[in-house]
Chains A and B, each alone.
Chain A
Amino acid sequence: MSQVAAADASEIIELLARYAHVVDNREWHQAKTVFRADVQLGRFPVISSGLENLEALVGSAAATHGHNSTDVILEARPDGTVRAWSKFYIVRSDGTVGSGDYQDTLVKTSDGWRIVERDVSRGNRLDTDPSASRAGSTNPAPTDFHSSIGTAECKNRRRVCAAHDRRLQPSPGTTDARVRTIS
């Protein structure tokens, strides 16, 4: 389906799992094994550029929920890069779970596959979905990574996928941050 070779797929799936361990443990010195140094978060608009800025943004969220990576599908592009669409779910300290999507562009470097672009979506979550910072009472960080990124992604998606969103007819007051295509 994807035309990505099994060996590359295996490496990329492991890379996406590795991110979960890096972020949950705040092991930023490992981040360069997942992202290229010039990694860009968000595309429409760009939310941050460069690994240092990404670390600062992700690090501002409470580290009280564990990330889990699932459902990886890949698409090979003519220029040799790979688009990856995966899902994540976080288990918060209160036992509730939140789900979302990552859409990444990966490049094969001399050190192996690295993420160079990442779009984050909160997926099928209501606006009232508890944020990580509210759930993590021990660390009431002012910025919740997922809700802030999700909002930006949602605005983007309203523009890019307007037809799709109209078809879905989102209820008033809800966030439709679904991801439509892998391109």
Chain B
Amino acid sequence: MDMTEQPVPRAEQDALDPGTRWQVSEVLSHFAHMVDNDEWTLLPLLFTPDATLSAQDGSAHGLSEIQNYLRPGDRWRAHHTLNTITRFLADGTVSAWSRFLIVEAAGTTISGDYVDVLSDTAEGWRIRSRRISLRNRPGSAPDGQPWRTESFATWIAE
């Protein structure tokens, strides 16, 4: 079945309560502040110790690998998180699909998607996995594949 042609129903039980929604939103926003300020000591507040990160130019497992992946970024970039939509998964975790906008020093921008799974830990909500996909890019991705494009089908398949 081609899921892209099917509307994804929003089931009542999938919807986040306002408290959870706000806590998830704050974790995603904190990520942008952390990256743009090189505040890597905050990493354990945002990701679980065994968190995974997957992009087409690399992947990471665990906090130190995530930091190594993120850290070489252009320090003149600014990250913005937009258009987050959320749903509960059956195991009580939360799946969040966000658009990011990166503002570069020249005033140019890069846009793409984060698809995250967040877990409710004793210390609060943390990102357990993050998939990063650039959007609307020319050519092919660094891994030689076409640029990955998130959709409702890919989000639901999470």
Contacts and interface: CB of A to CB of B under 8 A. Distances in A.
Contacts of B61: none
B38 A129 contact: no
A7 B18 contact: yes
A74 B82 contact: no
Interface string A92-109: 100011111000000000
Contacts of B141: none
A87 interface: yes
B124 A124 contact: no
B153 interface: no
Contacts of A99: 78, 80, 103
- B-side binding surface: helix, strand, loop or mixed? mixed
Interface residues of A, number: 35
Contacts of B103: 89, 97-99
Interface of A is mostly: mixed
Q: Pick the most buried of A5, A96, A124, A167: most chain B CB atoms within 10 A of its CB.
A: A124
Interface in B94-141: 101, 103, 105-109, 124-125
Interface string A69-93: 0111110000000000111010010
Given A1-B30, A72-B29, A89 B38 contact: no
Nearest to B20: A6
Interface string B7-45: 000000000001101110111111011001111000001
B81 interface: yes
Contact of B78 (A10, A85, A96, A124): A124
A9 to B, nearest CB: 5
A73 B26 CA distance: 5
Given A87-B78, A180-B37, A96 B107 contact: yes
A124 to B, nearest CB: 5
A6 B105 contact: no
A18 interface: no
A42 interface: no
Given A2-B26, A73-B29, A87 B80 contact: yes
A125 interface: yes
Nearest to B82: A70
A68 B99 CA distance: 14
A147 to B, nearest CB: 13
A179 B81 CA distance: 17
A64 B23 CA distance: 34
6 contacts: A1-B125, A2-B26, A9-B22, A71-B29, A89-B103, A98-B107
Interface of A: 1-2, 4-7, 9-10, 68, 70-74, 85-87, 89, 92, 96-100, 123-126, 129-130, 167-168, 178-180
